[in-house]
Structure 1
Amino acid sequence: MRVSKRIKKSFERQGINPTPQLYLLCLRCCRSQIEGIEMFKTNTLTAAVAAAVLAATGAFAGAPAVTGQFDNVTYLMNAEKMTLYTFDKDEKDKSNCYGDCATKWPPLTADDSVELSKGYSLIERTDGTKQVAYKGQPLYLWFKDQKPGDMTGDGVKDVWHVAKP
């Protein structure tokens, strides 16, 4: 009990408000409360510096589309985890969604410098922008999806479908 109180006071002096799990971690993994605090501060600082460096160099840029899973169904989503869709009226490597269609179904776009995973490609739209496609199928978002995991566009007019790998 004495060590626990000393750890708590050490955290308080450093201005750190730890969770109970962090207390236990310090008790179990560290030789003393001071080592625990110093290790926590050092690792937190190291992680923050590394994140800043990676963000500045574009290492977090990532792919414009990734796979996700919901109710044991794997589907495609953008980097913000919003559901992606395909349009039955598109052709291989060609979008047929423009004007009002593209307003409601914004194309997933990227620039030429993006690194794409296997199966993904960039197709050129009539306005010159590059749209991400998966296995030749152009990918879109749906304007009514409000949060990650929403799939309200699936089945719209029987021509829009959640994109799946």
Structure 2
Amino acid sequence: MSALADRVGTVWGTSDWVLLDQARIDAFATVTEDHQPIHVDPVRAAASLFGGTIAHGFLTLSMLSRLAEQALPVLGEVRESLNYGFDKIRFLSPVPSGARIRAVFTLNAVEDKPGNRQLLRLAVAVEVEGAERPALVADWLVMLNFGENA
């Protein structure tokens, strides 16, 4: 298995900036059937405390897979990398339509598991370009399967 334990406590990767524009927000609303006006109605959202449409929190969360693929190193000896869930997710600030986000991933723990696997605990902060507070922070669990021959 990999020597990931040496990287615990370090920033493991930072993604590029990704645009969350109204077209992406509208497409997410269609797929999830979540058509709240703060997400899809610019006129009504302009009168809200947000002053315009904002991305769904779950849209921001769903972007983690893409952001992780972009930011995290490829571990050649890994057969599969599986989303194992979250211990904590907090939505701290809105992502206005048209804003760019990126994710910073910190490796917080590596736990050996039976079957030649390791459970990674990643602290993730999704930043909004130009904002002081992150939009989202999460403790993400990822299971690495190294297979029988690793």
Determine if the TM-score, normalized by the shorter chain, exceeds 0.5.
no
The higher radius of gyration belongs to 1
TM-score under structure 2 length normalisation? 0.22
More RCO (CA 8 Å, sep 6+): 2
Higher helix share: 1
TM-score under structure 1 length normalisation? 0.20
